Structure 1
Amino acid sequence: MRRYLPLIATLLVIAVNAAANIVPINGFNTGELSALNPTGFTPAGWVFGIWSLIYLGLIVFGVASIVGSERIRARADGLVNVYLLNALANAAWIFAWHYRQVELSFALMLVILATLSIIFVKLRRQPAPTAREFLAIDGPFSLYFGWITTATLANLGAVFFVRQYYPFSLSMDQWALITVCAATAIYVWMGAVTRDIVYCAVFVWAAFGIAYRPTGITEPVKLAAWAGIAALALCIVWAAFSARRDPRRFSSEPL
């Protein structure tokens, strides 16, 4: 039964997210609530389409946990407990966000981020993945972790907006500029330490959405987003070339 739990949890989270926009929960869809809680760096709406790719990856993870090879199932088994907590926090976040409990939603977002951090570390401590293991497990979680890193910063910005308080008496736009610069530093550092191209690519995607959003974002923030794109592009190129010399990047064992 245990190996079925990741797929069940993923499908339940997808159902809650779908209900949030179809019903919708508390009369708002998720995008409308983002508009009600501006951050000064929330990317264009099309950027959030990344959730479709994240959920597809998590479905693959869930299916692989059931029917994957013995090695894939063993790799997934060590993640089950943490992933179930992650899925619970993800579903709870939807309700907190839709009922406009922004501070609670941020606390839940921290749980999501923490569980993904644990999963990321657990995977790094395991033997190097084969290509199939990367596609079924490591890749989807790198994508998910990369996006939640950005989402956590956005959620924090929403908390400050709701409370009408920003550190050091900064304005929303000043805080947005600092956040984009800090996010760039976080992703570059992660790229330098882990050489995780998927994780870094998520910020490039989000930063494009910031740079191309027609309204609600100042020119300095857009310029910071472009600078972040350039920095992460260089980091990704470096990671791609250095990964060739990294014996841990992919296992040489057969697929």
Structure 2
Amino acid sequence: MYRTNPFRWWNVLAFAAVITVNVLSHLLPLGGKTTKQISDQYYIYITPAGYAFTIWSLIYVLLAGFIFYQLRRDTGTRDSVEDIGIWFILSCIFNIAWLFLWHYLYIEWSVGIMLLLVLSVLVIYRKTRSIHYPTTGETLFVKLPFSIYLGWVCAAFVVNVGIVIHKNGWSPIGLTELGWSITLLCIGAVLAILISRHYRDSILPLVFVWAYLAISIEHKDVDKILLSSFILAAILFIYAIWLFFARNRERD
């Protein structure tokens, strides 16, 4: 008897809702301001150059690939898809909630929801990394989308934390804004290394490289930020290359 994934159509609806709210956030826009205008309103030392956010287009294209993959009769009932369960739907709910909170300037609450988004995508990521001998389809439509998605939401979470610190005028452990900005960059790099190391995932740290290079370009006039973000990007790039070859050696 043909099995069906009980979440497959809910996944479609949840993803459609995310795309719809994202489009409306730009067209209306939600709260009267675009996402970029709010980002400019809370501009900090680790705000990346605007082009960095185009990665969302790639993420949504890849997630659309996952949606179609999990709808197909021959692939939608694979364990790699069914193990994701309700977590993709939850990630969509948190994504939408973040957009509303961000656009209506509930910045502190938006960080809490962003953390839930990170955790939900992390659960999916860990499930997809347990696929030991993935098919080409599983590599492209199950593993890859959530590697890039997790990398970006982790980087975005670090920036969001910085915005909350800036907005409230906090000085964590007595650090200046420049000091805690560099500290957050280092924390993000460590996070990328810790998450990707166990799974030999060379893609996730490359997402941080993308973000950090965009930060260095945006703040090229601030020497310490330029140097810190560029050095961390270089370290993560070299690390990603090492992971790539380490994974291939283990396969051999």
Q: TM-score, normalised by structure 2?
A: 0.92
Superposed displacement of residue 85, structure 1: 0.8
Equivalent runs, 1:169-208 vs 2, <5 Å: 169-208=174-213
Q: Which runs of 5+ in 1 are unaligned?
A: 250-255
Q: What is the CA-CA distance between 1:80 and the residue it aligns to?
A: 3.1
Q: 1:145 aligns with which of 140, 146, 150?
A: 150
Gap change, CA 1:164 and 1:89, over 3 Å in 2: same
| 1:120 to 2:120 alignment | no
State the shift of 1:204 in Å. Answer: 0.8
Deviation digits for residues 143-197 of structure 1, max 9, x if unmatched?
Answer: 0000011011111111111211131132222111111122222223333322111
Flag structure 2 segments of 5+ consecutive residues without an equivalent: 1-5
* Runs of 4+ residues over 4 Å off in structure 1: none
Q: Distance in 1 between matches of 2:204 and 2:35?
A: 24
Match of 1:16 in 2: 21
Give the aligned partner of residue 3 of structure 2: none
* Distance across 1 between alignment mates of 2:77 and 2:207: 25
User: Equivalent pairs: percent with the same residue?
Assistant: 29
Q: CA deviation at 1:78?
A: 1.7
The number of residue pairs the alignment matches comes to 247
C-alpha contact 2:219 2:225 (8 A) present in aligned 1: no
> Which of 57, 60, 63 matches 1:55?
60
8 Å Cα contact 1:103-1:159 kept in structure 2: yes
Equivalent positions of 1:73-88 (< 5 A) are 73-88=78-93
**Secondary structure of the equivalent of 1:127?**
coil
**Residues 68 and 222 from structure 1, CA distance in 2 versus in 1: closer, same or farther, beyond 3 angstroms?**
farther
Are 2:12 and 1:7 aligned?
yes
Q: State the SS of the aligned residue for 2:86.
A: helix
1:239 pairs, out of 221, 238, 243, with: 243
**Deviation readout 1:26-82 (Å, 9 max, x if unpaired):** 110000001111231110000000000000111111111101633764321221301
Aligned to 2:218, what secondary structure does the other structure show? coil
Question: Which stretch shifts more, 80-89 or 192-201?
Answer: 192-201
The answer as to whether partners of 2:70 and 2:81 remain within 8 angstroms in 1 is: yes
Verify: 1:228 aligned to 2:221, yes or no. no
Cα distance in 2 for partners of 1:180, 1:70 equals: 39
RMSD: 1.8
Structure 1 position 101 matched with structure 2 position 102: no
Q: Which amino acid aligns with 1:9?
A: A
Matches of 1:70 and 1:116 in 2, distance apart? 21
In 2, are the aligned partners of 1:54 and 1:140 still within 8 Å (CA)? yes
Distance 1:223 1:190 in 2: 24
Q: Which amino acid counterpart does residue 40 of structure 1 have in structure 2?
A: Y
In the superposition, the TM-score normalised over structure 1's length comes to 0.91
Q: 1:186 to 1:79 in 2, by over 3 A?
A: same
